[in-house]
Structure 1
Amino acid sequence: MLSQRRLGTAVLALGLVVLTDVLRVFLPSVITIFGQAASTPAELLGAFALGWFVLALAAPPLVARVGADLVGVAAVLVLGVARLALTAAPGGQTQLWLASAGLLAGLVWLAATAVRIAHPVPGLVLGLTASALSHALFGTYDLVWWGRWPAWVVSVAVVAALLAAEMAFGRGRRAARRADDDAPPARRAWLLVGPVLSLGGMVALSPAVAIAASSYWYGEAGTGTTPLFALAPLAVAVPLFLLGVLSPPHPRWRAVPPVLVVAGALLFGYGPPRLLTVSILGVAAGLGGCLGLVGAGPSPGRATRTGTGSAYAAVGGMLVFAVAAMVYYAAYDIGYPNEWVPAVVAVLTGLVAMRGASDGIRAPQTGSGPGLPRWRITVLAVVVALAATGLHGPWLTATNRDRPPEQVRLVAYNIRMGFGLDGRFDLDALHRAVDRADVVVLSEVDRGWLLNGGHDTLGLLAARLGMPYVFAPAADPLWGDAVLSRWPVQRARTRTLPAVGAPTGAQALGVTVDFGAGVRLAVVSTHLQPPPGADPVVQARVVADFATGYADGVPLVVAGDFNTEPGDPAFTAFTGAGLVDALAAARPLPTSPADDPREQIDHVFVSSDLGAADAVAVPGTASDHLPVAVTLTLPDR
């Protein structure tokens, strides 16, 4: 029976890895494909996404009628086929519906698994840890987007292992003719699957968030080079998470994990970016402790023939995941405070854990604890995390040349978090669009949003270009603007822009590129966010004032997505400040939408001592915008 229990743990762990892979495609597909480049109302987007989770509430009755083993095998087949098909999918509607089908199958499988596994904490812990560490080993670049044979080999191996484990688990159950240990399903533990996935993916167990947190160690904005050992926060967070699960606190200290997870979530929502690392560690330790409290307590309730209560708990927990994700990220389209969302999920997690701990005090233990080889698992996780930390790179260093250049090629690009018009995360296309640039100004840069699959888009692109970056947050610590340069940068400064009714935050980032021999160039990256139907003139004036003051006589470039057309008030705010339209000779130069550009909203402004030539909007569909490129001639020295 012990081997059967371990087999159930393996099924749950492998299934969570595959389900997480599908979620990393489903969530951005809702935005980029169903959303049609922000033309679909946020309310409709949320209804579409939540609908699949609500539909999964039909799974428990199906399991009760048909049987958990049969439903589990069928759901795993659909989940596995959808996961593999996504690697081959061309994007677009095919990708959206494959991801949706895979998600629904994964939720049905989760409901069937909840009926059959009374002790889910070990499988949940191993699945979350394996997903986080594998994402770290691949540099936050999902295998589903690779499209090369190594990705196929690994993906097929994982799906095949899941299917084999699922079938073996079903055969073992039929042979034993009883559920695991004859224990009633641990409904509270199953209820935590969704909240733990939410907080883990959003904060504690995200490699991309860890990398972003490391960049803030270097100042107000991450500057200079890709931080050495950028994954160090994850290398600490994973062991804290595991130790919290494997060594639940004494009943006298059972309130500590809920307090830690709530405090870390509050710090993530309301704290400064420099404390993002502290938030990661607090949430990781707290989540682990909460799972340890639930896993160490007795399985509540009476055993039932169908166990549909645990199935409803698992699907209900995933519904919490979906609601939290939609409510948090919809704030950037609709406009309302969202900092409280992670904290509410953390409070829910803590309450469930405390209730489980209280039951453990009042009732005798039933042997439903974590049941994992404590130190072997922890040591293995530490080794893998350190390996991922050591492999992260390459270490990016700026170019130091003997003589300053006479000309510099600058590209400004709104990259839409790295997703093209087909809804695929296409690093190759992004790389091609900016490959010849010396300085790159990026808008809509994502450093680990769960909604976009948890990628570090900036780090991945910077590694391909071999260019160090400077990042500045605009909405929360993980979304904003960036500057990449082949030469060293200095004096990174940021300025928060007034919201003026716009839902998404905005900022201006100033850096100084040092070419050597006293030759410098001030570069300001921004992305103006006007309120619906209005011109961003207020923000434009703030950026113009900030940029001219920051440059202080040094040649200046202000570039980005300005969401305004030539001649509009926001546009003239820059020309009125003495800046020159560097793209004037190429007008009209529409840049949006990328497949049929009609709007001129991406611009480059320069000080009068800079020459500008060869302006062009580079064709491509790697984003919903076209990049604009221009060659700048530096003043005579």
Structure 2
Amino acid sequence: MRQRVFAAGVLALGVVLVTDVLRVWLPGIITIFGQAASTPAELMGAFALGWFVLALAAPPLIRRVGARPVTIGAAVLLAAARFALTATPGGRPQLWLATTGLLAGLVWFAGTAATNDRPVPGLALGLAVGAAGHAVLDTYDLVWWGRWEAWVAGGVLAGLFLVGHAPRPAPPGAAGVRAWFLAGPALLLAGMVALSPALARTATSYLQGEAGVAVSPVLGSLPLPVAVAGFLAVALAVAPRRFPAAVARVRWLGGPLALLAGAVLLALDRGSLLLPALLLSALGLGACLALTAAEPPGADLSAAGPSGIDPAAAPADRRAASRRAYAATAGMLVFAVAAVAYYSAYDLGYPNGWVPVAVAALVAAVALAAGRADVPPARAAGPAHPEVRVPLPPVRTTAAVTVLALLAPVVADDVPVTSNREGPPSHLTVVAYNIRMGFGLDGRLDPDALADLVSRRTPDVVLLSEVDRGWLLNGGHDTLDLLADRLHMAYVFAPAADPLWGDAVLSRWPVTAPRTLPLPAVGAPTGAQALAVTLDLGDGVRPVVVSTHLQPPPGRQPVVQARAVADFARRYAAGRPLVVAGDMNTEPGDAAFAEFTRAGLVDALATARPLPTSPADRPREQIDHVFVTPGVTASHAVAPGGTASDHLPVAVTLTLPPT
């Protein structure tokens, strides 16, 4: 039993390391290898899938060389890559180092599978600890910090992981194939919904309506510990209990049904459904893993053959180890195929809600097949076969990880309380910025650089485009919260592509009456919207701000969307001072640009033209704009230089008309 506890701990550490590498590698596909919306999605998808297909060569290598040397070699490479990522300056070195770590992690999964026939406790613990740690870090990975704390934590994690491979593993039995196959799908569902700290915080921001509003750290962080506790408690209850037949059947069916329900709620793309999607998915995923953990009848639980795939081992031992290794690599291939299929839809324009539902259905089917033996006959009161001992104490393990997750609100920054006690300001400084999900031209997540570039103008209002609040493809970060914390500003968020990706308004002044308008797609694959809010500046001064990001149809101007935004903004403003800003994907003189001036709006950046904003390193396109109503005076329009995104921000000082 002590060996199995040790093996579960090492597996958990490995899951955390692989997850860390994926959070760097996945966004690197679109920010370093390619450029979203310009590099073909098919090419980026082929690059991503190729490494997972290459990992299918690991089981034959393990059969020829032996599981232990392959596992140790892959572990060293994985730990080294994860540790070195802290020092990479971004760019191609970061991408290839992360790719090395990913491939090493996939090979390590296969080697570990060959020697571990009870992976569920370690897999569950790794997923739960990874999620809890990400919550404590405010979804900002240590990899990106670049400070001594990151080096120390990364070194300790990598060192413990490597030291854990010193003892020889316990002789494996013949089971574990189904559990290892579910490792990849479980990693996907945990990162997308079930154990995502960013999604948990975003879900709470939608509790007040269709727009996401900044909430307190305690409220925003509370769903994640609940999800972690439910997931881990259910996942570690792997042994069938002596329940009546009816209760056993509920246990058998309840988990898969809960997982499917959570995936369906996620697929509906509604912010108000994110919270139940999170909780149901967490419970269902944990229950499905638990169902695959119990040994099937007749399994040899006391097999004493050599660990791993050894030419001298008995044929049955070699076949079982080989099946587990292939199952682990096949499961990770499912992860890759599903991730590519889901996120490529935002470039190619097909429906993608079926992807998490299909993965959940696959997990449910495997779990139901594995757990069928645990369901006693209709009139029986006992289990179908003896209980299986769990290497990790469920209650104490769940409590410890939950306490870790509960630390998130303790270390989180407070949401600023805006105030208008000093009366209306004489000027209003507005910044509009397409932040590319928080990733700079070097492919590194750097909210500090974004905040520094914005704060130089001392803005009163910031309008953001391409805001990511938890996409697994981008590492599962809540970029909006990270930036709002650093600017000490409250926010309102509006979904565009889905509830986790869209536009936002940050303000130093109270914001009221948020309204969102989904814009016509007109052939563009990524969704677009307009977010209107009212600023309460005091003394009855209540200007209107509208944030948008126009998505042009292929080869054409976003004329239809521009007209819809201009009409919506004028109706919402109802004669009050109005500011409309964002990434418009149109230049002065173009037909879409003319829709705003035709609606009676004025180009607030006109005196500074030409004012190119894209690409950030060599700006030549004027596609980020600020429009105002007549009577609002604009001055000091600039586009500060920087490469924290692929766009430059535009900033302008506005003087409101006297009331």
TM-score (norm 2): 0.93
Q: Which residue of 2 aligns with 1:74?
A: 73
SS at match of 1:495: strand
Matching of residue 208 in structure 1 with residue 228 in structure 2? no
User: Which of residues 273, 285, 288 is equivalent to 2:271?
Assistant: 273
Q: Given residue 262 of structure 2, which amino acid in structure 1 is its aligned partner?
A: G
User: Which of residues 162, 172, 176 is equivalent to 1:186?
Assistant: 176
Q: 1:516: Cα distance to partner? A: 0.7
Matching of residue 342 in structure 1 with residue 341 in structure 2? no
Matching of residues 35-434 of structure 1 within 5 Å = 35-36=34-35, 38-168=37-167, 172-173=168-169, 179-180=171-172, 183-223=173-213, 225-226=215-216, 228-247=218-237, 250-253=247-250, 254-270=252-268, 272-298=270-296, 303-305=316-318, 307-361=321-375, 365=385, 368=388, 370-434=390-454
* Runs of 5+ unmatched residues, structure 2: 241-246, 301-315, 377-382
Question: Partners of 1:415 and 1:369 in 2: how far apart?
Answer: 50
SS at match of 1:384: helix
Question: Partners of 2:335 and 2:75 in 1: how far apart?
Answer: 21
SS at match of 1:474: strand
Contact (CA 8 Å) 1:299, 1:366: kept in 2 or not? Answer: no
Q: Given residue 199 of structure 1, which amino acid in structure 2 is its aligned partner?
A: L
Give the alignment's Cα RMSD to 1 decimal. 1.6
SS at match of 1:89: coil
User: What do residues 589-628 of structure 1 show as CA deviations (whole Å, max 9, x unaligned)?
Assistant: 1111111111111100001121101111111111111101
Q: 1:433: Cα distance to partner? A: 1.3
Q: Which residue of 1 aligns with 2:307?
A: none
| Identical-pair percentage | 60
Q: 1:245: Cα distance to partner? A: 1.4
Contact (CA 8 Å) 2:178, 2:327: kept in 1 or not? Answer: yes
Q: Which residue of 1 aligns with 2:511?
A: 489
| Shift in alpha-carbon separation, 1:9–1:167, aligned structure 2, 3 A | same
Q: 1:223: Cα distance to partner? A: 2.5
Contact (CA 8 Å) 2:432, 2:464: kept in 1 or not? Answer: yes
Matching of residues 586-597 of structure 1 within 5 Å = 586-597=608-619
SS at match of 2:537: strand
Q: 1:297: Cα distance to partner? A: 3.8
TM-score (norm 1): 0.96
| Shift in alpha-carbon separation, 1:616–1:301, aligned structure 2, 3 A | farther
User: What do residues 253-309 of structure 1 show as CA deviations (whole Å, max 9, x unaligned)?
Assistant: 111111110111000111521121011001001001101111124389884226111
Q: 1:163: Cα distance to partner? A: 0.2
Q: Given residue 352 of structure 1, which amino acid in structure 2 is its aligned partner?
A: V
Q: Given residue 450 of structure 2, which amino acid in structure 1 is its aligned partner?
A: L
Q: 1:188: Cα distance to partner? A: 0.1
Question: Partners of 1:403 and 1:620 in 2: how far apart?
Answer: 34
Question: Partners of 1:81 and 1:185 in 2: how far apart?
Answer: 31
Question: Partners of 1:263 and 1:140 in 2: how far apart?
Answer: 26
Q: Given residue 107 of structure 2, which amino acid in structure 1 is its aligned partner?
A: V
Q: Which residue of 2 aligns with 1:442?
A: 464
Q: Which residue of 2 aligns with 1:477?
A: 499
Q: 1:225: Cα distance to partner? A: 4.9
SS at match of 2:592: helix
| Shift in alpha-carbon separation, 1:359–1:465, aligned structure 2, 3 A | same
Q: Which residue of 1 aligns with 2:565?
A: 543
Question: Partners of 2:431 and 2:345 in 1: how far apart?
Answer: 30
| Shift in alpha-carbon separation, 1:365–1:65, aligned structure 2, 3 A | farther
Q: Which residue of 2 aligns with 1:15?
A: 14
Question: Partners of 1:576 and 1:628 in 2: how far apart?
Answer: 22
Q: Given residue 411 of structure 1, which amino acid in structure 2 is its aligned partner?
A: V
User: Which of residues 574, 580, 583 is equivalent to 1:552?
Assistant: 574
User: What do residues 568-594 of structure 1 show as CA deviations (whole Å, max 9, x unaligned)?
Assistant: 111010000000000111111111111
SS at match of 1:630: strand
| Shift in alpha-carbon separation, 1:292–1:239, aligned structure 2, 3 A | same
Q: Which residue of 2 aligns with 1:531?
A: 553
Question: Partners of 2:166 and 2:521 in 1: how far apart?
Answer: 55
